[in-house]
Structure 1
Amino acid sequence: MTSTKLRLLMVAFDASIQGWELPAFRGAVAEKAGYEHDLFHNHNNETGGYHYRFPLIQYKQDHGRPMLVCLNEGIEELHHFFSQPDWTLMLRGRSTPIRIHRLDVKQYTLNVSDKPFRYHIRQWLALNEDNYATYIRLSGMLERIALLQQILQNQLVGLLYQLGYEPERPVEVAIQNMKEERWVDYKQIKVLAYSLEFSCNVALPDYIGIGKGCSTGWGVVKRLRG
């Protein structure tokens, strides 16, 4: 059985932030680190477009505090921010000095397990324009859950490939409990966000993001324990 190591660094800062301020937090950190370091913002500095890749630096909120989640090469890139003499950030016109509250370094093994793990995903933006059209044509809840389950499986497989792991066995995903479906504002557009519990036979780190907007706090995954 093959596996791939995933390195992860989580840094929570001693400041206060609202969830809707996470895009501003990303912009402020990227500006402080230098826009030429595109892992901080995922924009293509040459074309002006986007890098269509899994974000290796993600911006989260943890108990009201801003937090960075960095994976693999994103960990090394973080020195461009930490090496700055002043960590004061401008968040929507508000001067916000920050300092480290908690720092965790972990390593995970990515592989397909014989047993499933249980997770909760919060405010997952699952649907694009095409599969939203498919979703609303489905009349029954079971059919809609089956579609969401397939989308989640596809996104998890894509995540593993982008992190350098090619599964030798099928990645199995099962949605177990639909907690909430609601409309939210994402980039000034109303989209559906889902909070649900699911099982998967791959060990995923807490706070990793999946789906659209995962770099700024959407689709945050946490393992259910006990």
Structure 2
Amino acid sequence: MYRLCIFDLDGTLLNTVYALTYVTNLTLDAFGLRHVTPEETKRIVGNGYRMQMKRALVLAGDEKLVHYEASLPIYMENFSKYCLKDVEPYDGIRELLASLKEMGVHVAVLSNKPHEQAIVNIETFFGKGYFDVVRGEQAGTPKKPAPDGAFAICRELGIKQEECLYLGDTNTDMETGLNAGMDTVGVLWGFRDREELEGCHPQYIVAHPSEVAEIVKKKNESHGRME
């Protein structure tokens, strides 16, 4: 039975690619480097902003990462101002969340986005307290694909790992679910393609949020019949 769904944020709940691209390019401007495109952004995000900037700098021509350390505070300053630029929920996400709540399933967010910005993103589009738990990157907790954040959410809600469904759009997310011993769902509306997701062998791959509601419904109905 699934009692909890943990969602990745960027590329799963919210389409943040234009905000991430804009902030990255503002940072690259500080060093006179060329911009990255939204399609390039989709490939460089997912492992936290530090790795994102490393990858962006290499793409922009700074292969020796001369500007890496200087880029980090600039990125965070820009991100604090523009983390909501052109952000919007993916089609069907609001309906999926409503369906899960109707079924009595808890919902949580686990992101490698800095914690404060993760909170701002979620509360802006879904309201304060809509999710049971929201966790961004926090000092002392290893980033995904380490399972520590997922474990912390389960402990906070008193839910076992095997009762959790983990949803995301990248190999980092699939590895997180696997490392946490949770069933995983790869979503195709986000930043990466089917081939990347299939390479991590998730239990499910879905093309639309409505499919997730059906997965949870069938699983929980089956559990009820077995009881």
Shorter-chain TM-score tier: under 0.3
Q: TM-score, normalised by structure 2?
A: 0.26
Structure 1 or 2: more helix by fraction: 2
Structure 1 or 2: more strand by fraction: 1
Q: TM-score, normalised by structure 1?
A: 0.26
